[in-house]
Amino acid sequence: MSLIQKINAVGIDAQIQNLQSYLYTELTDVEGWTNYESYERAYKNKKNDSTIPEIYIGEYLEVLFNDKFSATSFFLTEDNETISDNLCSSKISLIYQVQLDKLFPSIPHRADEELREMLKMLLKKNPYGFDLVGVQVGIDNVYADLDVNIDYTDDMQNFHVVRFDLELNYNITNC
């Protein structure tokens, strides 16, 4: 289990880090998730004929689904940020890639809706000003901002991917 964050994050990364820490604590300490990797904001990097999400930790690390973990998550931001007066406005995606049977072993059916409802509830009550504006499911929708070649079963039991679309307005001194 790891919470992977930037050191001395600023701007949108500092805002994302607040939400990331909140979610990680809720999911591990309250919901009991184990074997969960929570990644910071990923970059949309070109690699061969694809555009993949990677974080930079001294070297680039791809953050697509890794079946060594029960769950992984990462953030993406849109390429443009809106600034008006003293406010920055950003659209952010939060992507979860999970093995449902590992997170919900006592639920005999596909627990995709249980996962989404849990995460929606946590995102709705987050204290950092992120507004939940949409939820996307299905490989093509979740990774719409990327051009990835996924080689695992298209969002079928035990695997599930989901993207939460968020908006954040924050003071320009934090931009």
Total-model pTM: 0.92
Nearest to 12 by CA among 36, 43, 38: 43
What architecture is domain 2-174? 2-Layer Sandwich (3.30)
Query: pLDDT tens-digit profile of 83-132?
Result: 888 888 899 999 999 999 999 999 999 999 999 999 999 999 999 999 99
pLDDT at 150: 66
Domain ranges in the chain are 2-174
**pLDDT higher than 90, residue 148:** no
Q: Mean of the per-residue pLDDT values for the chain?
A: 91
Q: How many residues does the chain have?
A: 175
Instruction: Check if the beta carbon of residue 45 is closer than 8 Å to that of residue 60.
Output: yes
Tell me whether the omega of the peptide bond preceding residue 45 falls within 30 degrees of 0, making it cis.
Answer: no
Distance set, CA 92 to CA 33, 80, 149 (Å): 24, 11, 22
pLDDT at 151: 58
Query: Which residue is listed with tokens 């007066």?
Result: 85
Residue 81 vs residue 31, higher pLDDT? 31
Longest dimension (CA), the chain: 52
Q: Tell me the C-alpha distance between 117 and 94, whole Å.
A: 15
**pLDDT higher than 60, residue 65:** yes
Amino acid at 37: E
